[in-house]
A and B are shown apart, each in its own frame.
Chain A
Amino acid sequence: MIVVKDLYKAFEEVPVLKGISTSFEKGITNLIIGRSGSGKTVFLKCLLGLHHHDRGSINFDGLELNDLSPKKHRELRKKMGMVFQGSALFDSLTVEENVMFPMEMFTKKSKSEMRDRANAVIKRVNLVDTNHKLPAEISGGMQKRVAIARAIVMNPQFLFCDEPNSGLDPKTAIVIDNLIREITDEYNITTVINTHDMNSVMEIGEKIIFLDQGEKAWEGTNKDIFKTDNKAVTDFVYSSNLMKKVRQVYLKA
């Protein structure tokens, strides 16, 4: 579980996060949604420790991020998996080598053990015949799956995904969403997903935090989102006619 209290972050005195407090629970998919520029990515990078927050606290299963020594912070990071928006695969390594990379860095496993584990997670994300291909030789959806495989290969306790289905067709996007939800259930991990894809919100939004201009404007589930009267949320979620109709049908039902 991750508990965030009064998180504040500014860049050159321009506030980006203005005192966010929330919690991300274990075993469910936690979504951060909001418009572009609302502070989603900065929030996620603060959670990961890639940006140092100016004020507030972030607590990972009882470990206070502010109080951690660099060594302890590195240890904590080994418990994190991250799926980046552009996948961030190492382009000189093959799919299999990309997935084996964290094990190569941090374990004393033999090559064959590492290969077996890598193949197991590659199979888990439903990839076939791609082991010896370079990231540039596979599709965007496949790259996302490799990124997920790399993120889970070390059995992380926390999984972070930044726009995991951006640039993907709707069908592949749903496959990726469902894969993340299944992995969250299977591994019982704390998953935080940063997205502005409404399909994801409806499909896997077990807990949703809506950010607006650096502040938490709303918090709830994908069911609550239909009922809310929060103007910032409704303006964002029901901006298209289709979503407006979906909401009407849902409320009638």
Chain B
Amino acid sequence: MNMLFHIGNYFLMLAKVFGKFTKWSVLKRLIFADIESLIIGSMGIVSFISFFVGGVVAIQTALNLDNPLLPDYLVGYATRQSVILEFAPTFISIIMAGKAGSFITSSIGTMRVTEQIDALEVMGINTYNYLIFPKIVALMLYPFVITFSMFLGIFGGYMACVYGGFSSTAGFIDGIQLDFIPFHITYAFVKTVLFAFILATIPSYHGYHLKGGALSVGKASTTAFVWSSVLIILLNYIITQLLLT
């Protein structure tokens, strides 16, 4: 019953987000601020994780392909497939649910606790649109983060593989070009856009509807992370079933 209430309330929130729009000059400033904190501010951690996890994927693959009859380009192939299909869109989205998601929940939640949202409402502002819409727009640039993650993941795999002595440069590059299916990129970006919407709205919902004090902000951030992750994993399964089978 409680779950149904939250689902209903979430969709009501979405309807209000696209209700009365805030003045464009103000909205524009908010969108740029959110692009800076949610997109540009996440590039560092995304780059770091992508590079090293890409390297680990390549090493693990190389270590498991110990049969001398298997060509060494398979390492590049497996790295590309893992990074493009799953690691960059899904794994990074889980990281972002923690990084950007908790930022969104805590910033909106703190505004709720300190009555800043009430202050906006008293002024007659559509607080849903003012607070949440800029985050949705900012996170529509999330596919650029994932593109960067894909590149760095494969590059990390290349560095680990070639400098770790698991494959040659030519072999790795052959591997990443082998049987390339452009639709896999479409699939990855369809997932990414939907995940971006989840990353913007689920943490916003938990921050906006927070009740209590500072402790509640922490609890809401954790709940938002858990639900964003669960929805990302579920949606990942559904999209994969729909697009790849």
A residues at B contact (CB < 8 Å): 45, 48, 50, 73-78, 80, 82, 84-86, 88-92, 102, 104-106, 160
Residues B122 and A105 in contact, CB atoms below 8 Å apart: no
Q: Which of B122-136 contact A (CB under 8 A)?
A: 122-125
A105 to chain B: which residues have CB within 8 Å?
22-23, 26, 123, 125
A88 CB contact (under 8 Å) in B23, B33, B119, B125: B119
Residues B115 and A104 in contact, CB atoms below 8 Å apart: no
B118 to chain A: which residues have CB within 8 Å?
45, 50, 82, 84, 88
Residues B114 and A86 in contact, CB atoms below 8 Å apart: yes
Q: For the complex, what is the distance from the CA of A68 to the CA of B118, rounded to whole Å?
A: 19
- Given known contacts A85-B115, A88-B115, A88-B116, A50 and B121 CB-to-CB distance under 8 angstroms: yes
B25 proximal to A (CB < 8 A)? yes
B124 CB contact (under 8 Å) in A75, A84, A90, A160: A75
Q: For the complex, what is the distance from the CA of A86 to the CA of B116, rounded to whole Å?
A: 9
Q: For the complex, what is the distance from the CA of A105 to the CA of B129, rounded to whole Å?
A: 13
Q: Which of B6-36 contact A (CB under 8 A)?
A: 20, 22-23, 25-26, 33
Query: Chain B interface: which size bin?
Result: 10 to 19
Residues A74 and B124 in contact, CB atoms below 8 Å apart: yes
Residues A77 and B124 in contact, CB atoms below 8 Å apart: yes
Q: For the complex, what is the distance from the CA of A75 to the CA of B123, rounded to whole Å?
A: 9
B26 to chain A: which residues have CB within 8 Å?
104-105
Chain B residue at minimal CB-CB distance from A150:
B119
A92 to chain B: which residues have CB within 8 Å?
33
Residues B122 and A50 in contact, CB atoms below 8 Å apart: yes
Q: For the complex, what is the distance from the CA of A102 to the CA of B26, rounded to whole Å?
A: 11
B20, B33, B115, B124: which has the most chain A beta carbons within 10 Å?
B124
B residues at A contact (CB < 8 Å): 20, 22-23, 25-26, 33, 114-116, 118-119, 121-125
Chain B residue at minimal CB-CB distance from A162:
B115
Give 15 new A-B contacts, CB below 8 A, not counting A77-B124, A90-B119. A45-B118, A50-B122, A75-B124, A76-B124, A77-B122, A77-B123, A80-B122, A82-B119, A84-B119, A85-B115, A86-B114, A88-B116, A91-B116, A104-B23, A104-B26
- Given known contacts A104-B23, A104-B25, A78 and B116 CB-to-CB distance under 8 angstroms: no
14 A-B contacts, Cβ less than 8 Å apart?
A45-B118, A77-B122, A77-B123, A77-B124, A84-B118, A85-B115, A88-B115, A88-B116, A88-B118, A90-B119, A91-B114, A105-B23, A105-B123, A160-B122
Q: For the complex, what is the distance from the CA of A107 to the CA of B25, rounded to whole Å?
A: 12
Closest chain B CB from A88 CB (angstroms): 4
B115 to chain A: which residues have CB within 8 Å?
84-86, 88
Closest chain A CB from B109 CB (angstroms): 13
B23 to chain A: which residues have CB within 8 Å?
104-106
B20, B114, B123: which has the most chain A beta carbons within 10 Å?
B123
A90 to chain B: which residues have CB within 8 Å?
116, 119
Q: For the complex, what is the distance from the CA of A102 to the CA of B115, rounded to whole Å?
A: 16
Q: For the complex, what is the distance from the CA of A184 to the CA of B122, rounded to whole Å?
A: 19
Q: For the complex, what is the distance from the CA of A73 to the CA of B20, rounded to whole Å?
A: 13
Q: For the complex, what is the distance from the CA of A128 to the CA of B148, rounded to whole Å?
A: 48
Q: For the complex, what is the distance from the CA of A89 to the CA of B114, rounded to whole Å?
A: 9
B22 to chain A: which residues have CB within 8 Å?
105
Closest chain A CB from B140 CB (angstroms): 22
Closest chain A CB from B113 CB (angstroms): 9
B123 to chain A: which residues have CB within 8 Å?
77-78, 102, 105-106
Chain B residue at minimal CB-CB distance from A45:
B118
Q: For the complex, what is the distance from the CA of A84 to the CA of B115, rounded to whole Å?
A: 7
A73 to chain B: which residues have CB within 8 Å?
124
Q: For the complex, what is the distance from the CA of A36 to the CA of B122, rounded to whole Å?
A: 23
B25, B118, B119, B121: which has the most chain A beta carbons within 10 Å?
B119
Closest chain A CB from B211 CB (angstroms): 11
B25, B33, B122: which has the most chain A beta carbons within 10 Å?
B122
Chain B residue at minimal CB-CB distance from A83:
B119
Residues B124 and A78 in contact, CB atoms below 8 Å apart: yes
